[in-house]
Amino acid sequence: MSTFVIYAIGYLILLAGLVYGAVLLGVQTQWIVVGALVMLGLGIALGVGKTRTKDVPTDHQP
């Protein structure tokens, strides 16, 4: 399993916990959806940034 998949699974578990907590607190559904979408986008951006491999420089000179 790739590092990104492990990161994504952990982030989804965190997000599910936050959504469940917001429901228990009585936050309006529209704000839960907005917050979840923002957190999901942030999670994808952070996951790609942390798990991306560095480009190997090549020495191609004409």
pLDDT in tens, 4-62: 888 889 999 999 999 999 999 999 999 999 999 999 999 989 888 887 776 667 766 66
Q: What is the pLDDT of residue 61?
A: 65
Q: Report yes or no on 34 lying in a domain.
A: yes
Cα(11)–Cα(45) distance, rounded to whole angstroms?
A: 12
pLDDT top residue among 1 and 21: 21
Instruction: Output the CA–CA distances (angstroms, integers) from residue 37 to 13, 19, 28, 32, 62, in the order listed.
Output: 14, 11, 15, 9, 47
Closest CA to 7 of 38, 46, 39, 47: 47
Q: Report yes or no on 37 lying in a domain.
A: yes
Q: What is the pLDDT of residue 3?
A: 85
Q: Report yes or no on 47 lying in a domain.
A: yes
Q: Report yes or no on 26 lying in a domain.
A: yes
Q: Report yes or no on 23 lying in a domain.
A: yes
Q: Report yes or no on 13 lying in a domain.
A: yes
| Domain with 42 in it | 7-51
Q: Report yes or no on 56 lying in a domain.
A: no
Q: What is the pLDDT of residue 49?
A: 85
Cα(29)–Cα(59) distance, rounded to whole angstroms?
A: 54
Number of domains within the chain? 1
Q: Report yes or no on 61 lying in a domain.
A: no
Q: What is the pLDDT of residue 47?
A: 87
